[in-house]
Amino acid sequence: MQQRHTYLRPKPGASFSPQLEANADLLDYCRNRKVTLLAYSALLSGAYTRPERAFGAQYQGADTEARLSVLRQVAAEKGASPNQIVLAWMLHSNPQVLPLIAASTAEQMDENIQALEISLSAEEMARMDQAGG
Where residue 15 sits, what CATH number does that domain have? Answer: 3.20.20.100
Structurally, the chain folds into a number of domains equal to: 1
Residue 129 has pLDDT above 90, yes or no: yes
**pLDDT for position 45:** 92
The one-letter amino acid at 65: E
Please, which pLDDT band fits residue 12 given cuts at 50, 70 and 90?
A: confident
Question: What is the residue range of 106's domain?
Answer: 2-130
Mean pLDDT over residues 125-133, rounded? 94
Which of the two residues, 12 and 5, has the higher pLDDT score?
Answer: 5
Name the phi and psi angles at 63, rounded to 5: -105, 5
Torsion of CA 19, 22, 24, 30, to 10 degrees: 130
Half-sphere exposure of 103 (CA within 13 A, CB side): 11
Mean pLDDT of the residues in the chain: 95
The full DSSP string for 1-61 is -EEE--SSPPPTT--BTTB-B--HHHHHHHHHHTPPEEEESTTGGGTTT-TTSPPPGGG--
Q: What's the first-to-final CA gap in the chain, in angstroms?
A: 26
